[in-house]
Amino acid sequence: MKEVSDTWKYDEYDSIEEVLEFIKSTYSAHYSDNQDTQVIDMWEAQGSLGTTARDTAQKYLVRYGRKNGYDRDDLLKAIHYIVLMMYVDNKRKKEEKVCIDDNVIQGTDGLGNKIYYTTRPFKDDLPWPWGEQ
């Protein structure tokens, strides 16, 4: 029987295992404690986790090969931040959406803040269905 890791042409399975071990190690880092609030928790509460994770992933990708040479940790950190972006995307997909009328859908942004979507372009001569502009 063929090993699972043998089915991957570019060693993806081994790389994913390495990423999982790296992410697991961040929970025991000196600045992290499962009991305390982490900076990432604050970014999430502020609604900036997605963009901050994206920007930080970019930082580590640009840094790879420059600051500390070809430091594999830069790649692992970038992947970790991309995984955090995936977490935000999963939350976004789970947003509750309520149809207000044929043209407007009310939802939440994952933090409980109301947001509105429209199925038509806004026109100045049309009233907003949820009250005064």
* Residue positions counted in the chain: 133
Token readout for 128 is 């907003």
Q: Give pTM, 2 decimals.
A: 0.66
Token readout for 49 is 């986790």
**Do 87 and 99 fall into the same domain?**
no
**Do 88 and 119 fall into the same domain?**
no
Q: At 82, is the secondary structure helix, strand, or coil? A: helix
**Do 25 and 76 fall into the same domain?**
yes
Question: What is residue 128's DSSP assignment?
Answer: P
Q: Which amino acid is residue 73, in one-letter code?
A: D
- Cβ atoms < 10 Å from Cβ of 106: 15
Q: pLDDT tens across 25-41, in order? A: 988 775 655 567 788 99
Q: pLDDT tens across 81-126, in order? A: 999 999 999 888 776 565 556 666 667 666 667 766 666 555 555 5
Number of domains in the chain: 2
**Do 30 and 87 fall into the same domain?**
yes
**Do 60 and 12 fall into the same domain?**
yes
Radius of gyration of the chain (CA): 21
The whole-angstrom separation of Cα 95 and Cα 110 is: 6
Q: Which residue range is the domain that position 111 belongs to? A: 95-133
